[in-house]
Amino acid sequence: MLLGVNIDHIATIRQVRGTTYPDPLDAVAICLKSGGDSITAHLREDRRHIQDRDMARLCTIPDLHVNMEMAATDEMVGICCDLKPIACCLVPEKREELTTEGGLDVIGGEAYLRPAIARLNAAGVRVSLFIDADKAQINKAIELGAAVIELHTGHYADVTGQARQDELKRLQDAATFAAGMGLIVHAGHGLTLENTPDIAAIPELKELNIGHAIVADALFKGLAQSIADFKALLR
Ligand code: PXP
């Protein structure tokens, strides 16, 4: 199972002070050395953490697997088609949210998602849709031409006890269904060292994308150790 390291919150620390440090790109070599397989960065419409120049520099690093998270707006699709990262992940985005709160409504958003996915596919960027564990959404993702789905684990991460077991079952069933339909299945959001093992045990999942907990843990044990600890769980 691959580990995508989300570096947004290294940029968050830089942006809250308007400094030039820490540079999120300084994390790339550490990530790759410590077991990270790809770099995920979310260029939000409000540019609250990752900036255009960060994304552009990431996409010039030879052989780096960059996963550009973004809303499916004309502006973002244009930037992505120009930069041509290996992959992108389309997410719903609201200005007032602290973080991505739920999965994309692929069914309700068909009118804007279908052309966006077609443009990205034509540019050679592998498209992932960040969705909740829901069969109807998965079927629509296939119909619109996405190669990958990323299952939203945020609800699972937010609850405990039986509610968490119920969410886990929904994620397991969705992963089995989607992989059976030929999709590549990823998962992410809200994952920590404590709640990742049950997700990492879902055999159909090929990649987990983890950011906030990696950067938070890095404060106390360093980025290399933080990434290595997550990678050990995935192994
Ligand atoms: N996957 C997607 C699609 C996301 O939007 C995010 C948050 O940017 C993550 C994974 C990582 O979530 P977290 O920062 O909670 O680990």
Residue 158's nearest CA partner among 98, 225, 230 is: 98
Please give the domain boundaries of the chain with CATH numbers for all domains: 2-234 (3.20.20.70)
Distance CA 218, CA 225 (A): 7
The DSSP 8-state label assigned to residue 185 in this structure reads E
- Ligand 1 atom showing the smallest separation from residue 186 Cα: 1
Tens digits of residue pLDDT in 142-167: 999 999 999 999 999 999 999 999 99
Phi, psi angles (nearest 5°) of residue 131: -135, 160
Residue 22: strand pairing partners: none
Pocket, ligand 1, Cβ cutoff 6 A:
6, 8, 42, 69, 89, 91, 99-100, 130, 150, 188-191, 209-213
Ligand 1 pocket, mutate which of 67, 209, 212 (most atoms under 8 A from CB): 209
Tell me the Cα Rg of the chain: 17
pTM for the model: 0.96
Q: Which residues 6+ apart lie within 8 Å of 169 measured at CB?
A: none
Nearest to 226 by CA among 27, 26, 217, 234: 217
Question: Which residues have a catalytic role annotated?
Answer: 42, 69, 189
Beta bridge partners of 40: 6, 67
Tell me, what's the pLDDT at 175? 98
Instruction: Measure Cα distances from 140 to 9, 39, 150, 167, 178 in Å.
Output: 31, 27, 14, 21, 11
pLDDT of residue 95: 65
Largest CA distance in the chain: 47
Q: Which atom of ligand 1 is nearest to the CA of 128?
A: 3
Identify the pLDDT of residue 93. 84
Residue ranges, the chain, pLDDT below 50: none
